[in-house]
């Protein structure tokens, strides 16, 4: 049996070392401190670790494309900094958000700087130029998608009816495409066939959707473990799959989008969501996506790394933080 | 004698057509309307036109690298959208700024979207992959520089003493490197020698510095023509070369950084700056940079396009808007 956590942690160390190499604090220090704040605060490094394991699953040498792993984590952190400004969030990864600590103008710039650095770092991969161009093309398209996803997420707050299809589309763009980029970039960089590239893209995409649905579940059942306030999605009026499903079942949530609620009110709302089966519905959906993801890996040769990819996808929907 | 304005306008039309092709309004419309708002409001298209003319000066076919011209204009517009948020500006190009019209969260996303689109569009150039990778590397480095330049510009507001060297460093990063990218990207994309690439980079860089100094002069002598309020740099406390030079000469400006001032007070301040020679000092500096820029072109073969590049550099510091 693979120990997912230790396998991930081992590779996260490699990633962290590469991050310090590729993202040093330079002058002007005020800008670069803001730029590095969140990335240095930690995080699971899930995406760059997926880059490494996907490379292994292709039987290739990830030392040649370590910059791509760093680029993906850099993009991820850029999106977090800007999302936190837009969502007015004050804490993340147990520390103050960048705009809270350094002010909004510097936070906007810190995100922009990371965005630009990501592409600069990506070009350092030691692979054929034509594959590198394809990688730039994919990553830039993915970034456009992420912006669209965040826009959809924000606009859902104003829309009365959001259905499951809208939700999946939003999650795909906002969260899943960057995970799909993580799993498929190695195949692109090493010039693998379209078939392999697509299989690894779909694997990451379905995992990403499952991951986000599980995140929504954790907001309600994970309590404080996840590091943000329990039930905050309901109070903030976030149209998650759980809520969408409950609304379709005619359930009414008094505190939905009210901005604040007591612990008892939240407990009552969560109980309603449990009783109507919406939480189980979401859990099952997440599981379905992960099963679909794993099937995509049939295209790849069997290997320990392929098993690890499968184990990680299972872990994504069983994690409790 | 070359008619700079009509030569630029002719090519700006080509650029505008390419912009509509490469930057259509897609779904989600709310996001893309914000993304295209400023770019559709006009602008001189100076940077992409410089891409075209620099290509001509190399005797190459710009239809192959038209996407690079669009990418540069796209980057320029991304920086304007984010700068306007940071600087709390409400008008640009005669229209409301993006954040004023669409709200700050959407404006942040609109800038991010353009940033990502720029790299996607750049990859569409029909040139050798290895040159395209070099172009991505250069453009991403330039974007990092622009962020640093904007950060320096903002931090100058809090610093008591800013000297001429600091100012030139800031202007180089904030404004000049993107113009240098415009003039040198064609040489990179067509695989020219380092010597040619460097000459065209320096040409653009020196032009860019001259251009920005002239912009500062126009704030004081261009009156309403420039489309922003006359003397606003003084009232806002901007440390331009003119002010830096005047302060070095011991001149005191009562309204500097006061946030508001009457027309008479501004007139008085401008008169002081004229009398101490600070405005002439800046005008001469701009001229020096443009002369230095033109010298760099000695490396290029003589051509009508080379003469046009020189004429544009002269125009940059003689323009009155």
State the DSSP string of A124-188.
Answer: T--S-HHHHHHHHHHHHHHHHHHHHHHHHHHHHTT-S---HHHHHHHHIIIIIHHHHHHHHHHHH
Residue A162 clears pLDDT 50, i.e. is over it: yes
- Cα-based distances in Å from A245 to A240, A276, A316: 9, 9, 22
Residue with tokens 């490379």: A55
**Would you say residue B29 has pLDDT above 50?**
yes
Asked if the Cβ–Cβ distance from B105 to A85 is below 8 Å, we say yes
pLDDT at A219 (0 to 100):
87
* Three-class DSSP category at A122: helix
pLDDT at B276 over 80: yes
Model confidence band, residue A224 (pLDDT cutoffs 50, 70, 90): low
Q: Do B136 and A123 touch (CB under 8 A)?
A: yes
Is omega for the bond preceding A306 within 30 degrees of 0, making it cis? Answer: no
Is residue B145 pLDDT above 70, yes or no? yes
Strand duo B95-96 + A95-96: pairing: unpaired
Residue B76 confidence class, pLDDT cut points 50, 70, 90: very high
Residues on chain A touching B120 (C-beta within 8 angstroms):
137, 140-141, 144
For residue B78, give the chain A residue with the closest CA: A112
| pLDDT, mean of residues B212-227 | 76
pLDDT band with cut points at 50, 70 and 90 for residue B1: low
Q: What is the mean pLDDT of residues A121-128?
A: 98
Number of alpha carbons in the 13 Å side-chain half-sphere of residue B313: 34
Residue A253 scores a pLDDT above 60: yes
Q: State how far residue B255 is from chain A, nearest Cα, in angstroms.
A: 25
Q: Which residue of B has its CA nearest to A148?
A: B28
Nearest to A140 among B104, B120, B132 (CB): B120
Q: What number of C-beta contacts closer than 8 Å exist between A and B?
A: 131
Q: What is the pLDDT averaged over residues A116-138?
A: 98
Q: Cβ contact (<8 Å) for B152 and A128?
A: no
Nearby residues of A220 by Cβ (< 8 Å), 6 or more positions away? A230, A231, A233, A234, A242, A270, A273, A279
Structure tokens at A99: 């705009």
SS3 B276: coil
Which pair of tokens denotes residue A178? 């960057």
Taking phi first (over 0 means left), then psi (-120 to 50 degrees means alpha), and beta for anything else, what does residue B305 get? alpha
pLDDT at A2: 75
Overall average pLDDT of the A174-192 stretch: 98
* pLDDT band, very low/low/confident/very high, at B222 (cuts 50, 70, 90): low
Kindly determine whether residue A133 and residue B137, on different chains, have CB atoms separated by under 8 Å. Answer: no
Q: Which residues in chain B touch residue A128, judged by CB atoms under 8 angstroms apart?
A: 129
Q: Are A174 and A150 in contact (CB under 8 A)?
A: yes
Q: How confident is the model at residue B226 (pLDDT cuts 50, 70, 90)?
A: very low
In chain A the domains, ranked by start, together with CATH numbers, are 4-316 (1.10.600.10)
Cα B287 to chain centroid distance, Å, stands at 17
User: How far is the alpha carbon of A269 from chain B, nearest alpha carbon, in Å?
Assistant: 30
Mean pLDDT for the stretch of residues A198-219:
96
- pLDDT, tens digit, for every residue of A255-274? 999 988 988 999 999 999 99
User: Using an 8 Å Cβ cutoff, are B213 and B154 in contact?
Assistant: no
Cβ-defined contact of A147 to B105 (cutoff 8 Å): no
* Residues of chain A contacting residue B140, judged by C-beta atoms under 8 Å apart: 116-120, 123
Q: What is the pLDDT of residue B274?
A: 95
B141: enclosing H helix or E strand: helix B129-156
> Is B198 near chain A, with CB under 8 Å?
no
Q: Is the pLDDT of residue B39 over 60?
A: yes
Q: Mean pLDDT, to the nearest integer, of B49-68? A: 98
- The whole-number average pLDDT for the span B54-74 is 98
- What pLDDT digit, counting tens, does each position of B112-125 carry? 999 999 999 999 99
| Minimal CA separation from B116 to chain A, in Å | 5
Burial A47-86 (b: 16+ CB within 10 A, else e): bbbbbbbbbbbbebebeebbbbbbbbbbbbbbbbbbbbbb
Query: Is B159 a residue whose pLDDT tops 70?
Result: yes
- Interface subset of B 67-86, CB within 8 angstroms of A: 82, 85-86
pLDDT of residue A293: 98
Task: Using an 8 Å CB-CB cutoff, list chain A residues near B31.
Answer: 147-148, 151
Q: What is the mean pLDDT of residues B7-35?
A: 97
Calculate mean pLDDT across residues A62-89.
97
Structure tokens at B261: 């001032």
Q: Quick check: A156 pLDDT over 60?
A: yes
Q: How far is CA B18 from CA B24, B48, B67, B68, B117, in A?
A: 10, 10, 8, 10, 14
**B227 or B42: which carries more pLDDT confidence?**
B42
The DSSP-derived string for A190-250 is TT--HHHHHHHHHHHHHHHHHHHHHHHHHHHHSGGGGSS-TTHHHHTT---HHHHHHHHTT
Cα Rg of chain B (Å, integer):
20
Considering chain A, what is the average pLDDT of its residues?
Answer: 94
Return d(Cα B79, Cα B76) in angstroms, integer: 5
| pLDDT exceeds cutoff 80 at B293 | yes
Secondary structure (3-state) at B238:
coil
Split at pLDDT 50, 70, 90, the class of A1 is low
- Whether residue A123 and residue B137 make contact (CB cut-off 8 A), yes or no, is yes
Q: What is the mean pLDDT of residues B100-108?
A: 97
With beta carbons under 8 A apart, name residues in chain A contacting B118.
140
Mutate one of A68, A112, A158 to test the B interface: name it (highest B CB count within 10 A): A112
For residue B54, give Cα distances in angstroms to B66, B181, B194, B211.
Answer: 12, 11, 15, 18
**From CA A279, how far away is CA B275, in angstroms rounded?**
75
Are B112 and A108 in contact (CB < 8 Å)? no
Instruction: Give the pLDDT band of residue A225 (cuts 50, 70, 90).
Output: very low
Which range is least confidently modeled, A70-79, A199-208, B210-219? B210-219
CA distance B140 to B134: 10
Place of tokens 């620099």: B54
pLDDT band at A157 (very low <50, low <70, confident <90, very high): confident
Interface predicted TM-score (ipTM) over 0.90: yes
What pLDDT is recorded for position B223?
Answer: 56
Count of C-beta atoms within a 10 Å radius of residue A7 = 18
Q: What is the pLDDT of residue B309?
A: 98
Q: What is the largest CA-CA distance in chain A?
A: 59
Torsion angle in degrees (nearest 10) through CA of B102, B108, B113, B115: 130
What is the rounded CA–CA span in Å between residue B41 and residue B19? 12
Q: A144: which chain B residues are within 8 Å (Cβ-Cβ)?
A: 113, 116-117, 120
Average confidence (pLDDT) over B281-285:
97
The closest CB to that of B119, out of A31, A82, A136, belongs to A136
In angstroms, what separates the C-alpha of B305 from chain A's closest C-alpha? 30
Query: Would you call B91 helix, strand, or coil by DSSP?
Result: strand
Banded pLDDT at B227 (limits 50, 70, 90): very low
pLDDT of residue B319: 76
Helix axis angle for B177-189 and B129-156, nearest 10°, is: 180
Model pTM score: 0.96
Per-residue pLDDT tens over the stretch B172-196? 999 999 999 999 999 999 999 999 9
Instruction: Specify the higher pLDDT residue, B291 or A158.
Output: B291
Question: Over the stretch A24-69, which tens digit does the pLDDT of each residue have?
Answer: 999 999 999 999 999 999 889 999 999 999 999 999 999 999 999 9
Task: Pick A144's closest partner by Cβ from B104, B117, B141.
Answer: B117
Kindly identify which residue of chain B lies nearest to residue A121, measuring between CA atoms: B137
Give the number of other Cβ atoms within 10 Å of residue A321's Cβ: 9
Minimum distance, in Å, between the CA of residue B274 and any CA atom of chain A:
33
Residue A247: what pLDDT?
Answer: 96
Q: A113: nearest CA in chain B?
A: B144
Average pLDDT, chain B: 94
Peptide bond into A28 cis (omega under 30): yes
Alpha-carbon gap: A303 to the closest alpha carbon of chain B (Å): 33
The predicted structure's pLDDT at residue A223: 56
Q: Distance from A60 to chain B by nearest Cα, in Å?
A: 22
Nearest to B80, CA basis, from B69, B94, B93: B93
Q: Is the pLDDT of residue B36 over 60?
A: yes
Which 3 state secondary structure label does DSSP give A95?
Answer: strand
pLDDT at residue A226 tops 90: no
**Interatomic CA distance for residues A22 and A13, integer angstroms:** 14
| B-chain residues near A108 (CB < 8 A) | 82, 85-86, 108
CA distances from B316 to A238, B94, B287 (A): 51, 21, 10
Q: Quick check: A257 and A237 in contact, CB under 8 A?
A: yes
Show which of residues 135-174 on chain A sit within 8 Å of chain B, judged by CB atoms: 136-137, 139-141, 143-144, 146-148, 150-152, 154-155
């Amino acid at each position: 049996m693979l120990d997912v956590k230790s396998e991930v942690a081992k590779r996260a160390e490699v990633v962290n070392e590469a991050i310090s190499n590729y993202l040093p604090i330079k002058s002007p220090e005020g800008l670069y401190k803001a730029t590095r704040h969140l990335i240095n605060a930690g995080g699971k490094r899930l995406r760059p670790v997926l880059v490494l394991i996907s490379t292994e699953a292709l039987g290739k040498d990830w030392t040649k494309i370590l910059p791509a792993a760093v680029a993906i984590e850099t993009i991820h952190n850029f999106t977090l900094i800007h999302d936190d400004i837009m969502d007015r969030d004050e804490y993340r990864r147990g520390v103050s958000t960048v705009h809270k600590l350094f002010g909004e103008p510097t936070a906007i710039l810190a995100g922009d700087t990371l965005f630009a650095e990501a592409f600069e770092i990506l070009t350092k991969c030691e692979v054929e130029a034509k594959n590198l161009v394809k990688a730039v093309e994919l990553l830039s398209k993915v970034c456009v998608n992420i912006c669209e996803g965040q826009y959809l997420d924000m606009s859902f707050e104003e829309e009365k009816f959001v259905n499951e299809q809208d939700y999946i589309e939003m999650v795909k763009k906002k969260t899943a495409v960057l995970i799909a980029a993580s799993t498929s970039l190695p195949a692109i960089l090493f010039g693998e066939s379209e078939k392999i590239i697509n299989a690894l893209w779909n694997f990451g995409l379905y995992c990403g959707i499952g991951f986000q649905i599980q995140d929504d579940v954790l907001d309600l059942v994970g309590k404080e473990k996840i590091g943000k306030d329990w039930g905050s999605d309901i109070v903030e009026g976030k149209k998650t799959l759980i809520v969408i499903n409950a609304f379709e079942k005619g359930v009414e949530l008094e505190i939905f989008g009210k901005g604040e609620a007591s612990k008892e009110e939240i407990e009552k709302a969560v109980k309603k969501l449990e009783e109507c089966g919406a939480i189980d519905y979401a859990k099952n959906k997440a599981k379905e996506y992960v099963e679909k993801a794993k099937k995509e890996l049939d295209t790849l040769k069997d290997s320990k790394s392929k098993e690890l990819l499968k184990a990680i996808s299972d872990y994504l929907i069983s994690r409790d933080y």
